[in-house]
Chain A
């Protein structure tokens, strides 16, 4: 923390202070720009950018229109600024505009000349920074260029963030698709075996199957509630049980207080699938599966435990680190998404050893800023108390 008296004591010369001021303004503008170039982010960042340049007016544009204007003359110069944008974007280089391009009949308007510098990300112009002043100086041109370059850098980082998010989204889609062939084939086979002997149960299972796929293949929404996720897990287990019969014993111990916790979509289900697949299918005899959710004050703790063959801890470590060559494809993905959503201390904890079963623990905070459940439209879930 800085307090005013310390600031005076330690920051030396005027040049030092100017540098600090510039860095400070840049750091203020940075968070907005890291969200990409939109009207909203431009409006939040532009004040700080103008403070950096010290011009009477500044505009941020995309390739066609003015996104934000700070300072004077915003009303009557916006159209001219849009025209100036085209030239700079087409040439991908810094241009200047004189009085001739900026017709103005208002006395005292400081917008008489402009420096237009393009924002270039990966060789592509996304927009421009336009600095307006009564006259152009070489210093202003240089400064505007530098600011444009810095903004471009920030936008490039934003692009990287977006790439990373798209990658995670792609992985979620892959997860949805992954639920697939085995399970669908086996479930339908199990259901088919009941069609003659127990038509009611077969019908019931088919409905569960339909609801299960609707949840798992849903396209939109990043988050869901634990109740929704558990409901889908219940359906999944019901279908698996139709197949395994008494060989699969399931115990659920869920504190109802944590059902409203918001979690990333499909972040528990893969763990349960892993437990059933790796823990039980390979082991002989009856397999026990335990799913527990505790209330721990500001956190909810979830445990998925099986008494199957277990796993070499080193392999699990590699799966969590993202080694896709291993069986537990879901594990690394779930871990990454939990960390991305709630922070590094909320990753998966896996307790396992060969022959000793596996226990996966997830610790989820009840509240995290910006994390809220997306309602699932159109699904009136059965078994819900309304």
Chain B
């Protein structure tokens, strides 16, 4: 243990303890008779938006972007742009109708819309797959963050994060989850904004030195060559359509009281994410000036953690390092908790809940705990076995799978009454096998060069259209089997709640 590790250690232990304490004891907000009229007040859009932001801003946002920008240049800005703009698509096409459908999870929506157990099962499988794909990079990121912050071995980070998340989720950590996640957003924003502001002041004080001139390549918004252009467009498509298919984002919309609330929440999320994503590029730009050593040692992944020490000395650097470490660790914990809750919810509904059917009243709790173990355990093992997956890239793959499966399902399910169960199933299979297969090959470390590599690394540009076409064509072929209530259901999805519909 070196003295350099002290602030990181304090930050990690502090965030862990606070998270565990909140999970175990809960924020006991009890109301007694004098003020209990507050008890039935639903969660407002701003609070809910903060909570979504807290859950959504993952390790990839906090650490990944700055590192990618430092190495890859301006075309990597599409990651933060896409992660934000996904909510714009969500706002315009999905948010309010999804809320009005009454669905809690994506499988719920599929079942309500298509009345098909088979489609529900397919969606459950996809939710689990996407959740795992998204959890793996969180655990990976925790590994190298802990190594950089406290010099822990690579396996320690994933194990600690998984253990905290598991303890939290299975002890009923959903208590006051909205407040906790909202707090996490503001913690993360502070942890990235405050150090950035200090470092910018330092940079101004140094006489605004410029970074090394490395030609036009770094500042190009599109990667070079035809494959680069393809990869950029593919990434944009994946991120724009993928957000609506993320299991932990969708379940949060259930907390909104109505469709209007869902829309207002989404607008607030856009603002909050926009505010957050201004700052990682600042780290990258400063890293170009001060981060030569970090880049040379190949530690661009932890640029955000290393930059304060690279720029200033003394106690100030230690404090800033502690703050960014706390933010990064909060990012792992909140995103992983959100994903673990969403994934174990689906597993306990559709798998373990059925296994334990005979266990009576305790079944719900037991099923959920078992599901939590499965949903955290599998990605933990994968992240320990498969080393060195790029955090932002593999989150990008999770987005690609979501965009190729739930994207078409939600958009067509909400806006096209012709969708049939068979069509949805075929489309989910096409998109899921296509994008999912590409993702698994990438994680397994199989990579090709040239066009093969581009098509596998960024599958969305072909897998999304494929899924849409298959869904539409098979639905047309099975048009006679369209669900009888489709028209009525769509009317409900698109009618504001305050309109009293004459027919029920």
Q: Looking at the complex, which one of B31, B175, B178 makes contact with A252 (CB distance below 8 Å)?
A: B31
Given A227-B42, A227-B257, A297-B341, A369 contacting B36 (CB threshold 8 A): no
What separation, in Å, do the CA atoms of A40 and B503 have in the docked complex? 14
Inter-chain contact B36/A297, CB cutoff 8 Å: no
**Residues on B with beta carbons closer than 8 Å to the beta carbon of A373:** 102
Q: For residue B136, give the distance in angstroms from its CB to the closest CB of chain A.
A: 22
Q: Looking at the complex, which one of B42, B178, B257, B345 makes contact with A297 (CB distance below 8 Å)?
A: B345
Inter-chain contact A252/B363, CB cutoff 8 Å: no
Given A227-B257, A369-B115, A385 contacting B44 (CB threshold 8 A): yes
Interface: B497 (CB within 8 A): yes
Binds A, one of B105-113, B401-409, B468-476: B105-113
What separation, in Å, do the CA atoms of A257 and B254 have in the docked complex? 8
Tell me the residues in window 158-193 of chain B with beta carbons closer than 8 Å to chain A beta carbons: 172, 174-178
Chain A residue with Cβ nearest B43: A256
Inter-chain contact A257/B40, CB cutoff 8 Å: no
What separation, in Å, do the CA atoms of A19 and B242 have in the docked complex? 49
Inter-chain contact A257/B37, CB cutoff 8 Å: no
What separation, in Å, do the CA atoms of A230 and B257 have in the docked complex? 14
Inter-chain contact B39/A254, CB cutoff 8 Å: yes
Inter-chain contact A296/B368, CB cutoff 8 Å: yes
**Residues on B with beta carbons closer than 8 Å to the beta carbon of A296:** 172, 174, 364-365, 368
Inter-chain contact A255/B176, CB cutoff 8 Å: yes
Interface: A312 (CB within 8 A): no
Main secondary structure of the interface of A (DSSP, over half): mixed
Q: For residue A256, give the distance in angstroms from its CB to the closest CB of chain B.
A: 5
Inter-chain contact B254/A260, CB cutoff 8 Å: yes
Complex interface bits, B234-270 against A, C-beta within 8 A gives 1, otherwise 0? 0000000000000000000011110000000000000
Number of B interface residues, CB 8 Å? 51
Q: Looking at the complex, which one of B31, B40, B105, B363 makes contact with A253 (CB distance below 8 Å)?
A: B31
Interface: B32 (CB within 8 A): yes
Inter-chain contact A257/B102, CB cutoff 8 Å: no
Inter-chain contact A297/B348, CB cutoff 8 Å: yes
Complex interface bits, B366-384 against A, C-beta within 8 A gives 1, otherwise 0? 0010000000000000000
Interface: B3 (CB within 8 A): no
Chain B residue with Cβ nearest A382: B37
Tell me the residues in window 477-504 of chain B with beta carbons closer than 8 Å to chain A beta carbons: 484, 492, 497-498, 500, 504
Inter-chain contact A230/B32, CB cutoff 8 Å: no
Residue of A257, A295, A299, A369 with most chain B CB atoms under a 10 A cut-off: A257
Interface: B33 (CB within 8 A): yes
Inter-chain contact B255/A371, CB cutoff 8 Å: no
Inter-chain contact A294/B175, CB cutoff 8 Å: yes
What separation, in Å, do the CA atoms of A358 and B329 have in the docked complex? 43
Inter-chain contact B361/A349, CB cutoff 8 Å: yes
Inter-chain contact A234/B348, CB cutoff 8 Å: no
**Residues on A with beta carbons closer than 8 Å to the beta carbon of B255:** 256-257, 260
Interface: B30 (CB within 8 A): yes
Complex interface bits, A285-321 against B, C-beta within 8 A gives 1, otherwise 0? 0000000001111110100000000000000000000
What separation, in Å, do the CA atoms of A384 and B289 have in the docked complex? 52
What separation, in Å, do the CA atoms of A331 and B375 have in the docked complex? 38
Q: Looking at the complex, which one of A231, A251, A361 makes contact with B40 (CB distance below 8 Å)?
A: A231
Chain A residue with Cβ nearest B115: A369
Interface: A363 (CB within 8 A): yes
What separation, in Å, do the CA atoms of A363 and B368 have in the docked complex? 14
Inter-chain contact B36/A257, CB cutoff 8 Å: no
Q: Looking at the complex, which one of A234, A249, A374 makes contact with B37 (CB distance below 8 Å)?
A: A234
**Residues on B with beta carbons closer than 8 Å to the beta carbon of A251:** 30-32
Interface: A241 (CB within 8 A): yes
Q: For residue A292, give the distance in angstroms from its CB to the closest CB of chain B.
A: 9
Q: For residue B439, give the distance in angstroms from its CB to the closest CB of chain A.
A: 26
Inter-chain contact A262/B102, CB cutoff 8 Å: yes
Tell me the residues in window 314-353 of chain B with beta carbons closer than 8 Å to chain A beta carbons: 341, 344-346, 348-349
What separation, in Å, do the CA atoms of A3 and B102 have in the docked complex? 35
Interface: B294 (CB within 8 A): no
Q: For residue A12, give the distance in angstroms from its CB to the closest CB of chain B.
A: 30
Interface: A237 (CB within 8 A): yes
Interface: A345 (CB within 8 A): yes
Q: Looking at the complex, which one of A228, A234, A375 makes contact with B500 (CB distance below 8 Å)?
A: A375
Given A297-B344, A299-B364, A259 contacting B33 (CB threshold 8 A): no
Inter-chain contact A237/B36, CB cutoff 8 Å: yes
Inter-chain contact A259/B30, CB cutoff 8 Å: no
Interface: B213 (CB within 8 A): no
What separation, in Å, do the CA atoms of A260 and B357 have in the docked complex? 27
Interface: B29 (CB within 8 A): yes
Inter-chain contact A345/B363, CB cutoff 8 Å: yes
Interface: A217 (CB within 8 A): no
Chain A to chain B contacts (Cβ below 8 Å), 19 pairs: A227-B41, A237-B36, A251-B31, A251-B32, A252-B30, A254-B31, A254-B39, A257-B174, A257-B255, A259-B42, A295-B175, A296-B172, A298-B345, A345-B363, A367-B112, A369-B115, A372-B102, A375-B498, A377-B498
Other than the given A257-B255, A259-B42, 6 more pairs (CB < 8 A) read: A234-B36, A249-B32, A252-B30, A259-B43, A294-B175, A383-B37
